Structures are given as C-alpha cells and as structure tokens.
C-alpha cells in the first residue's frame, strides 16, 4: 500500500544557490579559475533538481520492500540504465582513464570483461536468485546453508561497502578540486580556516565543501525514496553521463587531429599505448584473464548491482536488463578511454596520471559545455553512491538485524531500521573519506584486498551453492574464510616481493592479481569440499528448494513468463551456442596475448562482438 505523503525538503535550495553565487563571484574576481559562473549555475540547478526529484519518491515508499527493492517492479530498460550508471563513477573515470594515460588502451578490458560478465550473470546466475525472492546474496546463503554463514558474510559486507564509498567519495573530491581550479579551492580553504579548520590538516575547507556536495544530497534522497529514488534517478543520470561523454569525445579528437592524428602521434611517442593485448606489463593478457573471472564474481555477487537486479519485474526483465547494460557499456568505455589516449598526446608531462581526464576538461571545454560535462560526472558519482548506500543499509537490516536480532520484525519496523541505517552508513562513508588522505596507499591496499576477498563469496554462493548439492554450512563458512586466508598468503608476498625476499620478476610477482584471485578461489573450493565431505550432509529441504528454481517459479508460471536457463526452441539454443563460441574466441585471443601475437587483441574483440550478438538474440527466443 503506497503512502500519499509529499516529500519533505530537508535542505534548502537557497543554501545551494548561495554557495553557487559565492563560487561565481570568486570566479569573476580572479579570472583564473577553471569554471565559469554559467557552469556553476548549471551544476547548482542540476543538484537542486536531483534533490527535489529524488525526494519526490518518498510517497512511493509504503513498505520495506518498496524501499529496498522498488516493489520488485523495474522494467528492463530502467534496470539496464540504472545498472550501467552504477558501474560508471568518478573513481573509474579518473583512475582508469589515468591508467590508460600511463599504460595504454589495454585497461579498457576491465570495462569490457565486466560487460560480458553482466550478460553471463543475467542469463544464468541471477535469475535463480531472483526466483527465491531474496534481497541480498547473504540471504541466499541462509536459504542454502544456514544463518551463521549469512551473518558472517553480511557483517563483513557492510563495512566493506562503507569503506568503498569513502574511497569513491575521496576520489570525486580530489577531481572536483582540480576541475574547479586553484582560486576556488584556495577560497574554500580560507573559508574553512575561518570556521575553525586548521591549516595544518591534511584536508581543508575545500575538501569539506565537496564532501558535503557529494554526500548530503545523495543521503537525503536515498533516505526518503530508497530504491525507487535510486533506480529512477540513476536511469536519468545515465542519460547525463552519456551526454557528458559525447560532448568531450569529439572536442578531444578534434584537438589531436581525429583518429589518424592521434594514432600517428602515439606511434611516435609511445606505440605500446596502442596494444590491446600486451604480452607483459601490469595490464597484459593475464590481467584481462583475471578481470574476466573477477567480473563474473562481481556481476553475480556485488551488493549494489545484485540488489538492483532483484528489483526487476520478473526473471525475463532481469536477463534483458543485464544483457542490455553490458551492451551499452561497450561503447561507453571507448568514449572515456580514447580521450585518455588523446590526453597523452596533448599533455604528455602531467604530474600525475589521474589528472588526464580533468586536464582535458580544463583545457578544451568552453563555458557551458564544462558545466554539462561536470553534470555528467556528478551524475556518475551520485548513481554509484546511492546504489551502494542502499545496498549496505539493506544488508545490515536483512542479514544482521532481522537475521540475528528480530526475525519477527514487521514491515514498518524494518522500514524504520533501514532508513536509520542509511543515515549511519552515510556518516561512515563521510568518516572514511576523511581518513583516506592520511593513508597514502589506502586505496591501492583496499583494491588489492578486494581482489582476493570477493572471490571466495562467489565460490561458496554460486559454484558450491548452485552446482554441488553436498556442500553444507560448515563447508561454506570454512571455505569462505580459507579462501580469504590463502589469497592473502599469496597476493601480499608477491605484491611486495622484494620485501619478502622473493624474485620481483617471477611470474606470480608480475601477475599478483591473477595469482591472488586464483589462490583465493582454489582455496575456497578445496576447503569447502573437504569440510563438507568430512561433516554431515546438508539440509535436504534447503537443497531441494534451491534446485527447484533452475526450472522456474510459481510466479513465472502464473504470469506465463517462464524464463528457461537453457532455451527450449532450436533458435534459442543456436544463439546460445553462438554466444559460447564468441566467448571461446575471446578467450583464445586473450591467451594468444602471452605469445605477443599482434592480432590477439582484435581476435578477442571479435569474440566479444559475437558473444553479445548471441546473448541478445537468445533473449528473443524461448
């Protein structure tokens, strides 16, 4: 039952307009800032709109499921747009384009393998989860194994998400300080000093201001509208993101003489930047292979992405939404990584690689267009924060509060708790964002940890949970912890090989992400199997209920929309086999990379195209 309550404006639009006016005055006074008052006006108008429109969905939230899963009523297009927007953030735009600036185009495979993983998860894995009508992956672990496994994974997941949000927020703030210009940053720092922020702090008034801009708005509209606000706004944000990318791409390419000019310049100054599948280096073929495996894990178990997929109208909508999200991610990756190569030509001596994308904005965008691109960047940031904020609050409420403290909680109680926890997670996000500047390698360390922490969850939830009936709760818990420990025991010694007395040029040291990922997956698999076989049999009823979801659900049967993991029609099977053939060609191209075969990258690209042709066509058949 929906409530008919108007949204309550908790932040005055006038406050935002005042801040915008102050920045505009500073811009006009100095003449040296990177952003014009027209751009600031556009940005402020966008933020006011986001706050108003996001808060409007407060009236749509009458029950806990409305807040956490949008009433499980999202159609394929909205689902695809909101998932694509969640996967695009300032952290990725700044850091990954910076990596392309320094190392070359091969980093693009991080986005492309993720797109392929979305399609695989949407076709084969997430429909099974969706049929169980769960809200989180830890909830599936209870359905399959037991409460203990659910609580263990849920508790860790909340703090992992909160820290990740702090990482994303910190990156966004640093990029914003550069784009806004030194004059505005200095002015904001001076204001902060006058308000009592010591000049000796690692962060100043400018940092505090941008943290408030990026966090408070999102926390407010997420608190009010939950997943309805998140999903609809993220779909709109996706449009703004694409507009921003389409603005900066032609301006950048014109500045370097379009593709012929850029390719000629790169062949002169750094030909290795054009290698799609390098034989060696940090982003070589082994990196692509590791990203493929990690991508499948991410698309199957990432809290923010999975929760949105569970909000789909039905399993068919889920499958179409994820495949479409993968399709639109392919060109977007080109829109962002190609300008990074152009930045290498235009600004070859940047002090830091993360300045590559902001430097293009500052150097090429005229008044007005700068504001539009900034809106696209803001939209990418909002869509990432709101999705993970909602997900963290849902995990705490479902997998810790309801699982361990109040299993009989009413929908009203759950709604109150999930809203309260949204605020708490938002505060933790802000606190973590202030801690990160004090630790030089915090972001790198976090990403290293994630590379071996997330894979054991995939192994116990997907591989063991969906494919092996003998796996039990003790095996799942032991496998999860064992995989993490073995992954850490492999990745850290080889990442810091010299400090541990190991050869830095050895294969594991040069490919420590792949080595750590493989070790964590293998450890989780072996330990789970061993402990399960040495302990009692799992609950047969739990296993039966999970296995029954492979063929359909009562909900689908009643609606006449049963989605078959293995197509029933001949054409459906043909397109699916074509998809697998494309996947095989892609993997062959990746493996050719280790032999430095020049065509390896293009073979992998061809395989990816065939893969998506088969995946999308399969959805048009039963």
Share of the chain above pLDDT 90, in %: 16
Q: How far apart are the first and last CA of the chain?
A: 34
pLDDT (tens digit per residue) in 90-149? 666 777 777 788 888 888 888 899 899 999 999 999 998 888 888 888 889 988 998 888
**pLDDT at residue 136, as a whole number:** 86
**pLDDT at residue 582, as a whole number:** 96
pLDDT (tens digit per residue) in 445-475? 666 777 778 889 999 999 999 999 999 999 9
CA separation for the pair 191, 403 (Å, rounded): 46
Which range (377-391, 418-432, 435-449, 483-497) has the least confidence? 435-449
Beta bridge pairs of residue 74: 312
CA dihedral 164, 403, 153, 72 (to 10 degrees): -60
CA distances from 111 to 40, 327, 594, 616 (A): 31, 11, 21, 18
- The yes-or-no verdict on residue 231 having pLDDT over 60 is yes
Listed in sequence order, the residues at least 6 apart from 411 whose beta carbon sits closer than 8 Å to its beta carbon are: 63, 64, 65
More confident site: 191 or 245: 245
Q: How confident is the model at residue 10 (pLDDT cuts 50, 70, 90)?
A: very low
**pLDDT at residue 265, as a whole number:** 81
**pLDDT at residue 9, as a whole number:** 30
Q: How confident is the model at residue 11 (pLDDT cuts 50, 70, 90)?
A: very low
CA separation for the pair 612, 326 (Å, rounded): 8
- Report the mean per-residue pLDDT for the chain: 79
**Tokens linked to 159:** 């703090």
**Whether the predicted model's global pTM rises above the 0.85 cut:** no
**pLDDT at residue 208, as a whole number:** 78
pLDDT (tens digit per residue) in 31-78? 334 567 787 888 888 888 888 877 787 777 777 777 777 667 777 777
């Amino acid at each position: 039952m929906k409530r008919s309550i108007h949204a309550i404006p908790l932040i005055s639009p006038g406050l935002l307009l005042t801040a915008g006016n102050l920045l505009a005055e500073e811009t006009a006074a100095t003449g040296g800032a990177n952003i014009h008052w027209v751009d600031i006006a556009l940005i402020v108008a966008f933020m006011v709109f986001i706050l108003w429109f996001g808060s409007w969905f407060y009236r749509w939230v009458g029950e806990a499921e409305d807040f956490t899963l949008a009433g499980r009523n999202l159609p394929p297009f909205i689902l695809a747009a909101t998932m694509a927007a969640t996967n695009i953030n300032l952290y990725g735009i700044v850091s990954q384009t910076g990596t392309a600036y320094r190392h070359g185009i091969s980093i693009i495979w991080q986005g492309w393998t993720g797109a392929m993983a979305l399609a695989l998860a949407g076709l084969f894995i997430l429909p099974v989860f969706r049929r169980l009508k769960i809200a989180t992956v830890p909830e599936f672990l209870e359905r399959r194994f037991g409460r203990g496994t659910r609580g263990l994974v849920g508790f860790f997941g909340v703090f992992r998400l909160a820290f990740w949000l702090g990482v994303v927020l910190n990156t966004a703030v640093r990029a914003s300080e550069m784009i806004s210009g030194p004059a505005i940053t200095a002015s904001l720092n001076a204001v902060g000093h006058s308000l009592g922020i010591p000049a000796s702090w690692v962060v100043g008034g400018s940092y505090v201001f941008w943290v408030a801009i990026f966090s408070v708005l999102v926390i407010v509209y997420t608190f009010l509208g939950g997943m309805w606000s998140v999903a609809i706004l993220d779909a709109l944000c996706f449009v703004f993101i694409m507009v921003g990318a389409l603005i900066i791409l032609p301006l950048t390419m014109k500045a370097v003489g379009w593709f012929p000019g850029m390719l000629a310049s790169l062949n002169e100054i750094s030909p290795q930047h054009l290698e799609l599948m390098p034989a060696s280096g940090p982003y070589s073929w082994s990196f692509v292979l590791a990203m493929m495996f990690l991508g499948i894990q991410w698309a199957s178990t990432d809290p923010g992405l999975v929760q949105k997929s569970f909000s789909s109208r039905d399993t068919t909508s889920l499958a179409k939404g994820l495949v479409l999200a993968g399709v639109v991610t392919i060109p977007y990756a080109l829109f962002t990584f190609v300008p990074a190569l152009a930045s290498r030509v235009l600004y070859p001596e940047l002090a830091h690689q993360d300045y590559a994308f902001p430097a293009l904005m500052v150097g090429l965008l005229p008044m007005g267009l700068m504001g539009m691109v900034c809106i696209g960047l803001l939209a990418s940031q909002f869509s990432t924060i709101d999705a993970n904020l909602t997900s963290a609050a849902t995990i705490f409420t479902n997998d810790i509060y309801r699982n361990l403290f109040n299993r009989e909680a009413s929908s009203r109680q759950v709604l109150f708790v999930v809203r309260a926890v949204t605020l708490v997670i938002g505060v933790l996000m802000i606190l973590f964002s202030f801690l990160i500047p004090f630790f030089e390698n915090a972001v790198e360390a976090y990403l290293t940890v994630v590379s071996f922490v997330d894979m054991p969850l995939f192994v116990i939830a997907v591989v063991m949970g969906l494919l092996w009936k003998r796996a039990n709760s003790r095996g799942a818990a032991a496998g999860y912890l064992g995989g993490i420990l073995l992954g850490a025991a492999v990745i850290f010694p080889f990442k810091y090989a010299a400090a541990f007395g190991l050869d830095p040029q050895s294969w594991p040291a040069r490919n420590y992400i792949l080595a750590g990922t493989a070790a964590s997956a293998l450890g989780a698999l072996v330990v789970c199997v061993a402990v399960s076989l040495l302990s009692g049999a799992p609950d047969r009823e739990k296993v039966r209920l999970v296995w029954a979801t492979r063929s359909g659900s009562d909900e689908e049967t009643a609606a006449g929309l049963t989605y078959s993991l293995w197509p029933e029609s001949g054409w459906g099977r043909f397109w699916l086999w074509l998809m697998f053939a494309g996947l095989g060609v892609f993997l062959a191209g990746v493996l050719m990379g280790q032999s430095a075969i020049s065509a390896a990258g293009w073979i992998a690209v061809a395989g990816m195209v065939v893969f998506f042709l088969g995946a999308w066509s399969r959805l048009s058949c039963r």
